[in-house]
Structure 1
Amino acid sequence: MTAWDIKPQGVQGQLKVVGTHAGDLEKALGAWLTDVAEAAQAAGTAIPGGTEAGQPVGPVAPGRQPGPVAGSIVAPSATGPVAAALGEYVTARKPKLKSMAERIQAAVLGAATATNEYVEGDLDTAKQAQDAAKSVRLDLLKELGGRK
């Protein structure tokens, strides 16, 4: 990479914008999880009177546990089929949500680290930070950012 032309103030401005949007996204995801938990709680169970805590009443499939939503995202009493389905939905989305958060973090850290190294004249480390951001290597980005 022989020709870099970075305007640090422009990068800083864009990182602030991204940070604002990332904060908005975090709030939206928190509200979504709260809404899912409330929906699971409100759905009740398939058994009349089955919303009380305690042992399940009626037939239960062998080896079945309350859905993954119960106990971690929603109150333990939300054990009906809708709560279980919502739990599976959230569990299935968890890796994508985690990946999204890591990509945002890598982009921000990579841009900040690469720009700082560019300003200091260390184009090799700037390139390493840029490559680490592309491959979502948060461990390497954190290490590069902590060298000073």
Structure 2
Amino acid sequence: MTKWDISPGGVESILSLVGLAADDLGKDVKGYAGSVEEAVQFAGTISGPYCGAVPVGPVGAAVANFVTDTEGRIRFMVARIQKTMDGTVKATTAYVAGDLDMAAQAQREAVKAPTPAELRAVGEQKSHHGGGK
């Protein structure tokens, strides 16, 4: 049988670190969006002189396509981190509640009077170890 030994304080500490890393990731993603816009704007074109808005060249278009292709993966990653953190909190809470329930049940059982079967078992143990009736 597998034994679980979860330290709620340890879980909280790790989740705190994961939360900080997720915050940093969020900042990086926001910075990434700004950097991509600049990259698309300044990637240059193969066109001649122009008037008005800067045309998007092939490198800028490739960068924009890359961002479009990876946007869903980034959203998935952020959602997965959040879901994992939420699940960890729920699982740890259930573990602690289960421990409390099991401890309470063990205490209720411990204060009960011995059953006839338990009394017989004690008598049988004595006779097997040389103690007689």
Measure how far apart 1:89 and its partner are.
0.7
Number of the residue aligned with 1:3:
3
In structure 2, how many angstroms separate the alpha carbons of the residues matched to 1:21 and 1:78?
Answer: 37
**Residues 1:14 and 1:121: Cα distance change in structure 2 (over 3 Å):** same
In structure 2, how many angstroms separate the alpha carbons of the residues matched to 1:104 and 1:78?
Answer: 38
Which deviations, in whole Å up to 9, do the C-alpha atoms of 1:32-76 show, x marking residues without a partner?
2211111111224332233623xxxxxxxxxxxxxxxxxxxxxxx
Identity of aligned residues (%): 41
In structure 2, how many angstroms separate the alpha carbons of the residues matched to 1:16 and 1:82?
Answer: 40
Which deviations, in whole Å up to 9, do the C-alpha atoms of 1:96-131 show, x marking residues without a partner?
212211221122111111111222228xxxxxxxxx
In structure 2, how many angstroms separate the alpha carbons of the residues matched to 1:42 and 1:121?
Answer: 59
> Which runs of 5 or more residues in structure 2 are unaligned?
100-133
Number of the residue aligned with 1:114:
91
Two-structure CA RMSD over aligned residues (Å) = 2.3
Number of the residue aligned with 2:15:
15
Which amino acid counterpart does residue 47 of structure 1 have in structure 2? S
Number of the residue aligned with 1:105:
82
**Residues 1:78 and 1:108: Cα distance change in structure 2 (over 3 Å):** farther
Q: Could you say which structure has the higher helix fraction?
A: 2
Number of the residue aligned with 2:60:
83
Q: When the two structures are aligned, how many residues end up with a matched partner?
A: 99
Larger radius of gyration: 2
> Which runs of 5 or more residues in structure 1 are unaligned?
54-76, 123-148
Measure how far apart 1:25 and its partner are.
1.3
Number of the residue aligned with 1:128:
none
TM-score (ref. length: structure 1): 0.58
More off after superposition, 9-18 vs 78-87: 78-87
